[in-house]
Amino acid sequence: MHLDLLAIAAHPDDVELTCGGTLLKMAQLGHKTGILDLTAGEMGTRGTPKIRAKEAANAAKLLHVSWRETLSVPDSDVQPSRQHKLRLAAVIRQLRPKTVILPYWEARHPDHYHASTLGYEGCFLAGLKQLPITGEAYRPFKILYSVSYASVRPTFVVDISAQYAQRHRAILGFASQFRPKKGENTSKVHLAIDRLEDEMNQLARHYGQMIGVQYGEPFLQKELMKVEDVVKMEVRSI
């Protein structure tokens, strides 16, 4: 299967939380989308790998994602090692995504910033003809960094107002990780569901407001944006 857009992240649910609305919107526009979870999230204190796999598959369905798999890198030990880079490069050659979304390269959780490096270098290596892996050499055209939780100014924001409710459903689908078990103290849960809901709502509103819409998801690209017609540019200045 060949994809138009592939989102790569460290843990199942990372993609839903940072760019789930954009994935859904792109699928609705007719693009083929996919998610590659680097780990199965097995270090999470909640839910079994089996439950998580089921939750991830359900979320993918809600976001109209055509392809979702895990690279089976050990959770809490995501490293841009040669071995992982080659395996990621093989996936890139198989899927040939035009655009790849990666986590931003600075983060609190080491898995997140290592996922960024591993993702970028895997995409780069996939284009080297002499690489000792199968498949035709291929490099994605565009790499976007998701900056929802990063304190940097995004290059652009995608309007996800129409997709927000469905993204919300996809995130809540990861119930095993956010919902306290019966009788459990909610303050002990890493990010209890009510706090998470509140936080994701605030972030999406914040970025939406920056472009004059209700909800948005922010991205950064290293390249400059090319503009053809400055009279048709969106987002009001004054």
Q: Where does this chain bind Zn ion (CB under 5 A)?
A: 10-11, 14
Of 163, 204, 133, 213, the C-alpha closest to 27 is 163
- Measured from the CB atom, the residue of 78 and 213 that comes closer to Zn ion is 78
Of the pair 14, 159, the CB lying nearest Zn ion is at 14
Instruction: Report the alpha-carbon angle 106-111-115, nearest 5.
Output: 70
CA angle 43, 46, 51 (to 5 degrees): 95
Smallest distance, Å, CB 223 to Zn ion? 26
CA angle at residue 174 from 72 to 107, to 5 degrees? 60
Closer residue to Zn ion (CB): 126 or 174: 174
Q: How far is the CB of 42 from Zn ion (least distance, A)?
A: 12
CB of 41 to Zn ion, least distance (A): 8
Work out whether strand 156-159 and strand 216-220 pair parallel, antiparallel, or are unpaired. Answer: antiparallel
Nearest approach, Cβ of residue 186 and Zn ion (Å): 21
Q: Where are the alpha helices (DSSP H) in 126-163?
A: none
Q: How far apart are CA 121 and CA 105, in angstroms?
A: 12
- List the structure tokens of 139: 């490099």
Closest contact distance (angstroms) between CB of 112 and Zn ion is: 6
The two tokens of residue 34 are 């996919």
Which of 27, 30, 2, 50 has the alpha carbon at shortest distance from 12?
Answer: 50
Residue nearest to Zn ion (CB): 11
CA angle at 97 for the pair 96 and 100, rounded to the nearest 5°:
140
Nearer to Zn ion, 75 or 159 (CB): 75
User: Which residue number, 14 or 55, has a Cβ lying nearer to Zn ion?
Assistant: 14
Nearest approach in angstroms of CB 115 to Zn ion is 8
Which residue, 18 or 163, has its beta carbon nearer to Zn ion? Answer: 18
